[in-house]
Structure 1
Amino acid sequence: MKVKVLSRNPDDYVRETKYDIQRVPRNYDPSLHPFEVNREYTRALNATKLDRVFAKPFLASLDGHRDGVNCMAKHTTRLSSLLSGSCDGELKIWNLTKRECVRTIQAHEGFVRGIVVRFCGTSFFSVGDDKTIKQWKMQCPEFGEEEEPLNTILGKTVFTGLDHHRQEGVFATCGQQVDIWDEQRSSPIRSFTWGVDSFSCVRFNPVETELLASCASDRSIVLYDMREATPLKKVVMTMRSNTLCWNPMEAYYFTCANEDYNLYTYDMRNLEQPVMVHMDHVSAVLDIDFSPTGKEFVSASFDKTIRIFPKNGGHSREVYHTKRMQHVICIKWSADNKYILSGSDEMNIRLWKANASEKLGVLAHRERAATNYNQKLKEKFQHHPQIKRIARHRHLPKTVYHQSKELRVMREARRRKERNVRKHSKPGSVPVTTEREKHVVTVVK
């Protein structure tokens, strides 16, 4: 009697691994998997819960300054280098890999107001309350060599901000006016004023490198072109903007950090109203920096928290805080898109993960595949109520929680009053004003 059987050679489908994990052939026909969605939902729910369990964003604290950290700068060519300036005029260069200070310079008398690294990374500039611009070598001085600046320019007024061109030996400063400087000259090659007392920050556009923008004390944001003799245009807002940052991937967009607790993203081609209003902070926003991808930005606030916003989202996806961290004055997003650095006025620089639950270090192939699979599941089911609730939940400091609750009540009261006025007025006499239109006073060209 002959019995016919199916036989397969295991070498065709068994992987050669040290664990002898057998590769099981799988049929993806949906009719064979009637409970696939249920199973995936459960996996997405578990992945979301584990995401919150493993969310430990704080990595390290760089301690060494003797006064509040007032400004920071990233190195243009090295990921592991960070420069920071404090309120006592001290400037430090940090090695982030070793988490230690490699060089300390007593650069200025009074506050260090701005630091920027030259586009090639060989030197850096600093400005301070002592009305000087100083250029320093990036390399440490030789044994026995004095720590002296390469070049010192004495200005007429205090400089409050500084930025460097991305491709040329040109940098910009701001104070009572916006000045464009050539590195080879001791006087500005161009100066811009527009009837303003002072400017708090100036930033070059990283894409359209001839453009720059500044925040002024008359609540305005002014746009300039280096090739023109006069400023291009300005938008006046209801409250003052502290600083701004250009989107590194979309040339026309910039986001400004305002005193009214919000951030505003503008398209420079149409300044009549912001593209997006980003709300969540409960105190003045002091600094902002975009991620290298241009999809997100991080903001630092006087309310002692750091928030990460999507570029087109009105609310933050993440909030970072610690018990000891005080008012966060400056913030930077690392060039590899993995870390965030914050400087606060209790003399500490803190290192955070950009993705709170991300596992650092080398991942095995199967581990990476599992992470990607879980990420896709979370995206697929992100709008389901239970998953959405768990993903959005954050513990806030008590003061921030109560202030945000109070701000919500105040906003709702204002809306209710507006509705009542409109209801009891002549039709059309009280126009509907959107949230975006409320904050722009005028645009001057």
Structure 2
Amino acid sequence: MKVKTLSRSSDVYLPSRNSEVSRLPRNLNPELHPFERAREYTRALNATKLERVFAAPFVGQLGNGHRDGVYCLAKNIRRLNAAASGSGDGVIKYWDLTTREETASFIAHQGIVKGLAVNLDGNLLSCGSDNNVKLWDVTNSAVTTPIKTFLGATGFTAIDHHRSNPVFVTSSNTVELWDENRSKPTADLSWGADNVNAVKFNQTEQSIIASAGSDRSIVIHDIRSGAPVQKLVTLMRTNAISWNPIEAFNFAAANEDQNVYLYDMRKLTRALNVYKDHVSAVMDVDFSPTGQELVTGSYDKTIRLYKVKEGHSRDIYHTKRMQRLFCVRFTMDSKYILSGSDEGNIRVWRADASSRSSVKSARERAKLEYDNALKERYKDMPEIRRISRHRHVPGYIKTAEGIKKTQLASIKNKEENMRKRSKKGSMPYAKEREKHIIGVAFKDTPKS
């Protein structure tokens, strides 16, 4: 007589190592799980609610801040825990982000510090309205004198350093390329602007520079030819530029018209995306090191985070005491954000408001990944969308949003009335990604 027994190997359900999650036998036949969708929706709803419950984006501030407003920030791309800040009274401070304390502090310029950049050796370059660019050894806590000083013809407005060569670029009434081993600029890359207020090296194609001028232009320069290549002119001025570190051709521009525009340098006749929601001029923008998100700081005293492929912010950060924002930066691990504002404080924020930096077990990580997958799957359900998008904003922001909405609706209504009373086809609809662009010009290069 044969007797059949049910048996299974322990390898099926026991983890092979301690770091793995215990395996559970599952029968995925949909006929045995008729309420699977309902259960997953409930789990996604609970996960969304818990995400908002545990949202605490503000971490703290760096030291005691500055005595004047913070107008520029710089991060060391080769270190996770280092950052520098410059204020309106000419003081520069170098910070240890781990302890949130300053490691060096010195008076660098007679007047406002307009730009900071870190060179290949980890030393700090600073420029100011006193016509000087100075190189500082920030590893020395007792630093009082610069290693080297570069004298310019006029006050500088911005500076950026090349990622692999000892050269840097500055902006003033001209865009100038400098070599650290020479006292005079090696090239003048200007193209027509009375004053240039932002300049940035491309992080991937490092011979390309983008600059923004007071004539509402964005100019692409090539240091190999030592000349500008093309110019984009918009309706309002651009305040800051940030290159995508992963997609070499794309860059974001923070504009005075309360929007941020994403461009492809190969086709500047239209924007790839428009990031909205701010109610005042956007003063600064920065991409995360992953290239998947960007952060903006605005004159409306708020920080907003965007996903690259979405047009509206996924989160908004603010505090009662934070004033006008002039600079924001992602840290090099993409987990935190630094912001400098007009009241002199440098604040640290979580890039993901509900995440925590503690060590997580394999089971916790699996649960977080499962919850994120469920939230992504059911993100368009009305209740989940309402909970995930809801934010408490200051009263003045709410009022300004209502005024802006009314103004845009009035402009749209006026255009529709004019279109009805005009000849058919004489007033075509303006595309949202093109209507802020006046034109694009290309530089004529002399034939050899």
| 1:71 corresponding residue in structure 2 | 72
| 1:433 corresponding residue in structure 2 | 430
- TM norm structure 2: 0.94
Secondary structure, counterpart of 1:157 in structure 2: coil
The separation in 1 between residues aligned to 2:303 and 2:231, in whole angstroms, is 29
Instruction: Give the aligned length.
Output: 438
Secondary structure, counterpart of 1:379 in structure 2: helix
| 1:319 corresponding residue in structure 2 | 316
| 2:280 corresponding residue in structure 1 | 283
One-letter code aligned to 2:91: E
The separation in 2 between residues aligned to 1:149 and 1:12, in whole angstroms, is 65
Q: Which residues of structure 2 form unaligned runs of 5+?
A: 443-448
| 1:232 corresponding residue in structure 2 | 229
| 1:40 corresponding residue in structure 2 | 40
| 2:255 corresponding residue in structure 1 | 258
* Matching of residues 87-166 of structure 1 within 5 Å: 87-118=88-119, 120-140=120-140, 147-166=144-163
Aligned-pair Cα RMSD in Å:
1.9
Secondary structure, counterpart of 1:332 in structure 2: strand
Secondary structure, counterpart of 2:301 in structure 1: coil
The separation in 2 between residues aligned to 1:67 and 1:255, in whole angstroms, is 28
One-letter code aligned to 1:395: H
In the alignment, does 2:303 pair up with 1:302?
Answer: no
How much has 1:228 moved relative to structure 2?
1.7
Q: Which residues of structure 1 form unaligned runs of 5+?
A: none
Residue range with higher mean Cα deviation, 221-230 or 295-304? 221-230
How much has 1:309 moved relative to structure 2?
1.0
Secondary structure, counterpart of 2:433 in structure 1: helix
How much has 1:185 moved relative to structure 2?
0.3
| 2:446 corresponding residue in structure 1 | none
* Matching of residues 361-380 of structure 1 within 5 Å: 361-380=358-377
| 1:386 corresponding residue in structure 2 | 383
Secondary structure, counterpart of 1:351 in structure 2: strand
Asked if the contact 1:261–1:285 (Cα under 8 Å) also holds between the matched residues in 2, the reply is: yes
How much has 1:24 moved relative to structure 2?
4.4
Asked if the contact 2:220–2:228 (Cα under 8 Å) also holds between the matched residues in 1, the reply is: yes
Asked if the contact 1:76–1:121 (Cα under 8 Å) also holds between the matched residues in 2, the reply is: no
How much has 1:104 moved relative to structure 2?
0.5
Asked if the contact 1:125–1:135 (Cα under 8 Å) also holds between the matched residues in 2, the reply is: yes
Give deviations 1:120-160, integer Å, cap 9, x for gaps.
Answer: 3431200011110100113115xxx7622110111110000
Give deviations 1:295-318, integer Å, cap 9, x for gaps.
Answer: 110000000000001112111111
Seen in structure 2, the aligned counterparts of structure 1 residues 162 and 146 have a Cα distance that, compared at 3 Å, is closer
Secondary structure, counterpart of 1:50 in structure 2: helix
One-letter code aligned to 1:440: I
In the alignment, does 2:58 pair up with 1:61?
Answer: no
The separation in 2 between residues aligned to 1:375 and 1:24, in whole angstroms, is 20
Seen in structure 2, the aligned counterparts of structure 1 residues 333 and 22 have a Cα distance that, compared at 3 Å, is closer
| 1:220 corresponding residue in structure 2 | 217
The separation in 2 between residues aligned to 1:420 and 1:9, in whole angstroms, is 75
Secondary structure, counterpart of 1:406 in structure 2: helix
| 1:346 corresponding residue in structure 2 | 343
How much has 1:174 moved relative to structure 2?
0.3
How much has 1:22 moved relative to structure 2?
8.0
The separation in 2 between residues aligned to 1:31 and 1:355, in whole angstroms, is 38
Asked if the contact 1:77–1:121 (Cα under 8 Å) also holds between the matched residues in 2, the reply is: no
Seen in structure 2, the aligned counterparts of structure 1 residues 146 and 430 have a Cα distance that, compared at 3 Å, is closer
How much has 1:87 moved relative to structure 2?
0.5
| 1:6 corresponding residue in structure 2 | 5
Asked if the contact 1:13–1:22 (Cα under 8 Å) also holds between the matched residues in 2, the reply is: no
How much has 1:192 moved relative to structure 2?
2.0
Secondary structure, counterpart of 1:70 in structure 2: strand
The separation in 2 between residues aligned to 1:159 and 1:192, in whole angstroms, is 15
One-letter code aligned to 2:403: E
Give deviations 1:62-97, integer Å, cap 9, x for gaps.
Answer: 123111111010012111111111110000011111
The separation in 2 between residues aligned to 1:234 and 1:241, in whole angstroms, is 13
How much has 1:12 moved relative to structure 2?
5.6
One-letter code aligned to 1:81: A
The separation in 1 between residues aligned to 2:358 and 2:391, in whole angstroms, is 26
- TM norm structure 1: 0.95
How much has 1:359 moved relative to structure 2?
2.2
Give deviations 1:294-353, integer Å, cap 9, x for gaps.
Answer: 111000000000000111211111100011111111000011110111011111000001
Seen in structure 2, the aligned counterparts of structure 1 residues 23 and 250 have a Cα distance that, compared at 3 Å, is closer
Secondary structure, counterpart of 1:409 in structure 2: helix
One-letter code aligned to 2:5: L
Percent of pairs with identical residues: 48
